[in-house]
């Protein structure tokens, strides 16, 4: 038995039109074509789908069963086609974001909150892409946008610059390093360094400072959440290097000191990687605009 949507549409049309001739008109075909089609379908089904005893042909019990399927399925198809139309016109789409940078949650949530209101039809999701390689996933269309620091863009991928930030040293006010105007690699030798639980090539403090200087901190411990890291730092259990925008709550507190990395200030750039063809889509462009303007407000507010 090989059913097609065509058949379901036919069943529904005959039911609605209350007769084969009228239904044929609804479907823009001749009465003859419909008659042939119905005959074929009944052949497939192996039974009569219509009662012909009364003249305007009516659905039989089996036909009514098929109508039930039609009434459930065809609206789903219509809904899907509607979504595709919206997708084509650019009013909707999918924005699944992978972040390689733990601290980015801080500015990403406010940005997404704004985005969500502007593009309610877009399917938004975040995947804390720590477990997998985010950039290849972009190519496979498993995700649509990757938040990442500077890297070499693979072919087909564009790195859209968002904003610059300063990886900033933070310690307890009790820590001896609080006396320094800036912090150098050597200063970490005697410190417990608290970081996110990711590989060193994704941690600014290593890529920008320690790896090049071949300095190993006294110890390293990890915490998942920014708040936890700051708590540990506050109780002088260690020091950390975090992007400047997460410092806004801490700067006003007397318990903490924040210092630039030095001697020359380290500046990094945050990027949103997208597929080449997506970069100009209206809602992606809007997201990029938001992701450029909102985080700097946090940085200023710091």
Partner DNA sequence: CCACGTACATGAGCAGCTTTCATAATCATG
Partner DNA sequence: CATGATTATGAAAGCTGCTCATGTACGTGG
Binding residues for its own copies (CB under 8 A): 1, 3-6, 45-47, 51, 53-54, 58-62, 65-66, 69, 72-73, 76-77, 80-81, 83-85, 87-88, 93-94, 96, 139-141, 144, 156
Q: By CB under 7 A, is residue 13 in contact with DNA?
A: no
DSSP state of 207: I
Q: Which does 139 bind (CB under 5 to 8 A by kind): its own copies, DNA, none?
A: its own copies
Query: What's the rounded Cα separation, in Å, for the pair 282 and 98?
Result: 20
Q: By CB under 7 A, is residue 137 in contact with DNA?
A: no
- CB 158 to DNA: min, Å: 18
Residue 225 dihedral angles phi and psi, to the nearest 5°: -105, 140
Number of residues that bind DNA (CB under 7 A): 24
Q: By CB under 7 A, is residue 56 in contact with DNA?
A: yes
DSSP SS3 for 59: strand
**Closest alpha carbon to 226 in 242, 213, 238:** 242
Q: Which of 9, 19, 59, 192 binds DNA (CB under 7 A)?
A: 19
C-beta of 59 vs 285, nearer to DNA = 59
- CB 61 to DNA: min, Å: 17
Task: Identify which range of 24-32, 188-196, 241-249, 278-286 contacts DNA by CB under 7 A.
Answer: 24-32
Query: What's the rounded Cα separation, in Å, for the pair 279 and 273?
Result: 9
Rule CB under 7 A: which of 164-203 touch DNA? none
Q: Which does 59 bind (CB under 5 to 8 A by kind): DNA, its own copies, none?
A: its own copies
Q: Which of 5, 16, 33, 176 binds DNA (CB under 7 A)?
A: 33
Assess contact for 147 and 118: CB atoms under 8 A: no
C-beta of 32 vs 174, nearer to DNA = 32
Q: Which does 29 bind (CB under 5 to 8 A by kind): DNA, its own copies, none?
A: DNA
Residue carrying structure tokens 């790195």: 159
C-beta of 87 vs 227, nearer to its own copies = 87
Strand intervals (E) in 144-213: 145-149, 157-165, 167-172, 192-195
Q: Which of 5, 36, 79, 197 binds DNA (CB under 7 A)?
A: 36
Q: Which does 84 bind (CB under 5 to 8 A by kind): its own copies, DNA, none?
A: its own copies
Neighbour count for residue 94 (Cβ, 10 Å): 15
Structure token digits, residue 276 = 């080449």
DSSP state of 96: E
Residue carrying structure tokens 């038995």: 1
C-beta of 62 vs 130, nearer to its own copies = 62
Structure token digits, residue 113 = 């909150």
Q: Which does 35 bind (CB under 5 to 8 A by kind): its own copies, DNA, none?
A: DNA
Burial of 142 (0-12, 13-18, 19+ CB in 10 A): middle
- CB 100 to DNA: min, Å: 22
**Closest alpha carbon to 69 in 17, 16, 24, 9:** 9
Assess contact for 266 and 166: CB atoms under 8 A: yes
Residues 6+ away with beta carbon under 8 Å from 221:
192, 193, 194, 195, 232, 238
C-beta of 85 vs 200, nearer to its own copies = 85
User: Which residues are at the interface with DNA (CB under 7 A)?
Assistant: 4, 6, 19-22, 28-33, 35-40, 50, 52, 54-57
């Amino acid at each position: 038995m090989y059913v097609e949507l065509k058949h379901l549409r036919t069943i529904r049309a005959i039911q609605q039109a209350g007769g084969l001739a009228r239904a044929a008109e609804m479907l823009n075909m001749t009465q003859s074509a419909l008659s042939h089609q119905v005959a074929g379908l009944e052949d497939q089904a192996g039974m009569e789908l219509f009662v012909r005893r009364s003249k305007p042909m009516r659905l039989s019990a089996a036909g009514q069963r098929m109508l039930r399927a039609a009434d459930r399925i065809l609206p789903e198809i219509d809904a899907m086609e509607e979504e595709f139309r919206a997708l084509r016109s650019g009013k909707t789409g999918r924005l699944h974001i992978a972040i390689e940078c733990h601290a980015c949650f801080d500015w990403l949530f406010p940005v997404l909150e704004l985005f969500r209101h502007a593009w309610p039809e877009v399917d938004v999701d975040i995947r804390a892409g720590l477990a997998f390689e985010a950039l290849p996933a972009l190519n496979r269309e498993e995700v649509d946008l990757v938040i990442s620091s500077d890297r070499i863009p693979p072919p087909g991928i564009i790195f859209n610059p968002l904003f610059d930030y300063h990886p900033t040293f933070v310690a307890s006010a009790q820590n001896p390093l609080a006396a320094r105007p800036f912090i150098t690699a050597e200063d970490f030798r005697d410190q417990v360094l608290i970081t996110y639980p990711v590989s060193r090539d994704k941690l600014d403090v290593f890529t920008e400072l320690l790896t090049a200087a071949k300095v190993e901190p006294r110890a390293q411990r990890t915490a998942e959440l920014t708040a936890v890291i700051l708590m540990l730092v506050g109780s002088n259990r260690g020091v950390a290097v975090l992007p400047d925008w997460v410092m806004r709550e801490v700067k006003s507190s007397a318990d903490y000191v924040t210092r630039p990395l030095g001697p020359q200030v380290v500046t990094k750039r945050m990027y949103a990687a997208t597929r080449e063809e997506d970069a100009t889509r209206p809602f992606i462009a809007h997201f990029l605009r938001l992701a450029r303007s909102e985080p700097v407000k946090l940085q200023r507010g710091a």
